[in-house]
Amino acid sequence: MEQENTFEIEVNGQKVRAQRGQTIAEALLAGGLRIFRKTRNDVPRGFYCGMGVCYECRMIVNGIPNVRTCMTPATPGCKVSTQNESMMKAEA
């Protein structure tokens, strides 16, 4: 069966188009999103090394925190949200 080449993912509640074969990070950057997480001092960070070394692109994906979006394929309907580590500290 022929697979759809584009589909939607959900980013902070908003729909973003992704292409089959793209990583989550690629779909977000193609959609104009720059801030992937906030540090525990509330400083914005984004995609940096693009190869799984720096961990700056880590986000919450389908409820799981610390997922490196540069290495994780986008899948139809996956839910992605900005990882706010200052809030995570407060909750803990």
Partner 1 sequence: MKAFDLAIIGAGPAGISAAIEAAALGASVALIEENPVPGGKVFGHMNDHLKDAMPDRFEKRIGSQLLQRLDSVMDRVSVFLESEVWTVWDQWIVAIHQKGTSGDQVRSIRAGKLIISIGAFERIVPFQGWTLPGIFSVGGLNSLTKRGIVPGEKILITGSGPLQLVLAHHLINAGAGIIGMVNAASPQDIAARGLQLLSNMNGSVLASGVNHLFAIKRQRIPTYFSHAISMADGSHQVERVVIVRVDRTGRPIKGTEREIVTDCVAYGYGLIPSCEVTRLCGCNHIFDDQLGYWKVQLSEKMETSKAGVFVAGDCRLVKGYSAAIEEGKIAAVEACVQLGYTNRKTADSMLRASRRRLRRFKRFARAMECISRPGPGLLDIISDDTVICRCEEVTMKDIRSAVAEGAGDVNDIKRRTRLGMGHCQGRFCGQVINELIWKMTGIPQKREIFTARIPVKPVPFGVLAKV
The only residue of 12, 44, 77, 87 in contact with partner 1, by rule CB under 8 A: 44
Residue 71 makes CB contacts below 8 A (sequence gap 6+) with: 23, 52
Q: Return d(Cα 53, Cα 55) in angstroms, integer.
A: 6
User: Out of 53, 76, 79, 86, which residue is the one contacting partner 1 (CB under 8 A)?
Assistant: 53
Task: Provide the mask over 4-23, with x wherever binding to partner 1 is found by CB under 8 A and - wherever it is not.
Answer: -x-------------xxxx-
User: Position 36: which residue type?
Assistant: F
Q: How many CA atoms lie within 13 A of 84 on its CB side?
A: 7
Which is closer to partner 1, CB of 30 or CB of 87?
A: 30
Considering the complex, what minimum distance in angstroms separates the CB of residue 53 from partner 1?
A: 5
Taking a C-beta distance cutoff of 8 angstroms, is the pair 36, 28 a contact?
A: yes
Residues near partner 1 (CB under 8 A): 5, 19-22, 26, 29-30, 34-36, 39-41, 43-56, 58, 66, 70-73
